[in-house]
Amino acid sequence: MDSTRPAIRDTERPTAHRRGAVVAALMLAMALAALDSTIVSTAVPQIVGDLGGFSVFSWLFSGYLLAVTVTLPVYGKLSDTFGRKPVLVAGAALFLLGSLLCALAWNMAALIAFRVVQGLGGGALQGTVQTLAADLYPLEERPRIQARLSTVWAVSAVAGPGLGGVLAAYADWRWIFLVNLPIGAVALWLIVRHLREPQREPSAARPRVDWAGALAVFACGGALLTALVQGGVAWPWLSPPSLALFGAGLLLLVAVVVIERRAAEPIIPGWVWRRRTIAAVNLALGALGLLMVAPTVFLPTYAQSVLGLAPVAAGFVLSVWTLSWPVSAALSQHVYRRIGFRNTAMLGIGTATLILFAFPFLPYPGEPWQPALLMLLLGAALGLFQLPLIVGVQSTVVWSERGTATASVLFCRQTGQTAGAAVFGAIANGVLAARLGGSGDLDSVTRALDAGTAPEATRRAIADAVHAVYLGAAGAAALAFLVLLVLAPRVFPVLKD
């Protein structure tokens, strides 16, 4: 065992009752983060009708996403320095404060600002919950807790839009934020009462926090992600605002490298990229974030515009992958125990590549069960891909590095999703412009279809655009396969628990 890892005596391991209470708290905390975007999305018309600000309402989602993404590395390092419990408690409290402020918002600008506060807490929820899941269970039992957390995401994806719609229609949109308070209060009580972390050897040196690095990472990530989120939407890609943000982001990236190389305890330590296993998994899960944009963003549009389904039915076509993903993840342990983490992940992403590549060959307009079947298979394939990589990385580092390693993986996946939305949005709009001989984007074309003013040729153009996006997603999946094949070690260097 690595001598730097804190020893955990048998008396310090949680009892079954205490561990069960902590797991319940982690699932509740994860539900807060998982429900957030889906429950808000269906209430947007009511929010805009009450507060106004239609031109900027997209920042309700972008602001939250940016705050979550850029804080993940910071919270990961803080959890390694001060422990998981104080970081999780502080993050949950900040998330609940943001929820309360959102419910009290008096205009759209205030609501967006308070959503950013929520996101600052949401970054701690996502990263620390995943890290604690590895702390609580030895390697052979980790798929069990990870599968439970995957189930939370699946249930939230299905239930969130419906719950948000019900609250907005029969109560008030402010309740979609107030409902977080009792759930979060129970999670906080369970964590404070039952979570006991191992005693670490006292150190003569006072823990140092790289606040300069944290600020630089936050500023750099904020500039680059804002450029990706808003480019081609709020302003053209080559416009002064876009170029200014990309330029500022690159300069800040240089500053991050300089600051982190000089820091005694850097927020993003160099070993995250020097170790083959972690670097390969970071790149592979970045590609996963990229490819996930195709089904989550573009499939509902395809189902409504091409297949002619109602919004609820279109949501079902997408949601079926949330059924197979956690089941596959739970069963993946039986595969990676036989053939290893890398080979299991390669099997999953290789299968996903073929499934994504098959989507453009569906008949036009086709039947709803056809894309639904592909999504069911895709969820099963990605369950085999993601979970072994996360469990594998967490098993190759000591306790004092696990928060940082987990946060780096989640950060890369989130960044991949942000980049994917920009890249695939540009691809879809480019195909539409080529097919229709104009400069219209996907949003304006689908609104015309909803109004019944667009011809059949427009539906075919949308189908071609979504097919192009799925081919791009297949390319991202193939890239992840190649990264694992070339960069990842055949056998992960797992440390003994």
- Closest by Cα among 159, 73, 177 to 412: 73
Asked whether residue 250 falls in the same domain as residue 303, the answer is no
Is 202 part of a structural domain of the chain?
no
Highest mean predicted confidence (pLDDT) among 234-243, 339-348, 395-404: 339-348
- What rounded mean pLDDT belongs to the chain? 83
Please tell me the predicted confidence (pLDDT) of residue 373: 93
Please tell me the predicted confidence (pLDDT) of residue 2: 39
Asked whether the predicted pLDDT for residue 11 surpasses 60, the reply is no
The residue among 247, 264, 281 that closes a domain is: 264
Please tell me the predicted confidence (pLDDT) of residue 368: 87
Asked whether residue 220 falls in the same domain as residue 120, the answer is no
The residue among 195, 221, 256 that closes a domain is: 195
The pTM score is 0.85
- Closest by Cα among 372, 463, 476 to 421: 476
Please tell me the predicted confidence (pLDDT) of residue 22: 85
Asked whether residue 247 falls in the same domain as residue 273, the answer is no
Rounded to an integer, the average pLDDT of 244-273 is 87
Asked whether residue 256 falls in the same domain as residue 358, the answer is no
Please tell me the predicted confidence (pLDDT) of residue 452: 57
Is 145 part of a structural domain of the chain?
yes
Asked whether residue 377 falls in the same domain as residue 236, the answer is no
Highest mean predicted confidence (pLDDT) among 8-12, 55-59, 328-332, 408-412: 408-412
Asked whether residue 173 falls in the same domain as residue 252, the answer is no
Which band of pLDDT confidence, cut at 50, 70 and 90, is reported for residue 9? very low
Lowest mean pLDDT among 49-53, 294-298, 302-306, 311-315: 311-315
Are 344 and 392 spatial neighbours (Cβ–Cβ below 8 Å)? no
Tokens standing for 84? 């998981």
DSSP result, 93-150: HHHHHHHHHHHT--SHHHHHHHHHHHHHHHHHHHHHHHHHHHHHS-GGGHHHHHHHHH
Cα separation, 142 vs 112, whole angstroms: 37
Asked whether residue 148 falls in the same domain as residue 236, the answer is no
Asked whether the predicted pLDDT for residue 164 surpasses 50, the reply is yes
Tokens 């982190």 locate to 260
Which band of pLDDT confidence, cut at 50, 70 and 90, is reported for residue 277? very high
Rounded to an integer, the average pLDDT of 270-274 is 87
Asked whether residue 291 falls in the same domain as residue 418, the answer is yes
Which band of pLDDT confidence, cut at 50, 70 and 90, is reported for residue 378? very high
Tokens 């992403």 locate to 349
Tokens 């069963």 locate to 331
The residue among 167, 195, 223 that closes a domain is: 195
Rounded to an integer, the average pLDDT of 211-236 is 81
Cα separation, 150 vs 128, whole angstroms: 15
Asked whether the predicted pLDDT for residue 169 surpasses 80, the reply is no
Asked whether residue 228 falls in the same domain as residue 295, the answer is no
Please tell me the predicted confidence (pLDDT) of residue 5: 40
Asked whether residue 163 falls in the same domain as residue 285, the answer is no
Rounded to an integer, the average pLDDT of 219-238 is 79
Is 108 part of a structural domain of the chain?
yes
Is 335 part of a structural domain of the chain?
yes
Q: Computed over its alpha carbons, how large is the radius of gyration of the chain?
A: 22
Domain range for 127: 16-195
Cα separation, 38 vs 153, whole angstroms: 11
Strand partners, 231: 235
Is 1 part of a structural domain of the chain?
no
Q: Identify which has the larger pLDDT, 339 or 451.
A: 339
Are 469 and 424 spatial neighbours (Cβ–Cβ below 8 Å)? yes
Which band of pLDDT confidence, cut at 50, 70 and 90, is reported for residue 130? confident
Asked whether residue 482 falls in the same domain as residue 433, the answer is yes
Cα separation, 250 vs 246, whole angstroms: 6
Asked whether the predicted pLDDT for residue 278 surpasses 50, the reply is yes
Is 5 part of a structural domain of the chain?
no
Asked whether the predicted pLDDT for residue 251 surpasses 90, the reply is yes
pLDDT in tens, 173-208: 888 888 889 988 998 998 888 888 766 655 545 667
Note the residue count of the chain: 497
Asked whether residue 332 falls in the same domain as residue 375, the answer is yes
Asked whether the predicted pLDDT for residue 76 surpasses 70, the reply is yes
Q: How far is CA 444 from the centre of its chain?
A: 27
Please tell me the predicted confidence (pLDDT) of residue 326: 84
Is 393 part of a structural domain of the chain?
yes
In the chain, how many domains are there?
Answer: 3
Which CATH number do you get for residue 440?
A: 1.20.1250.20
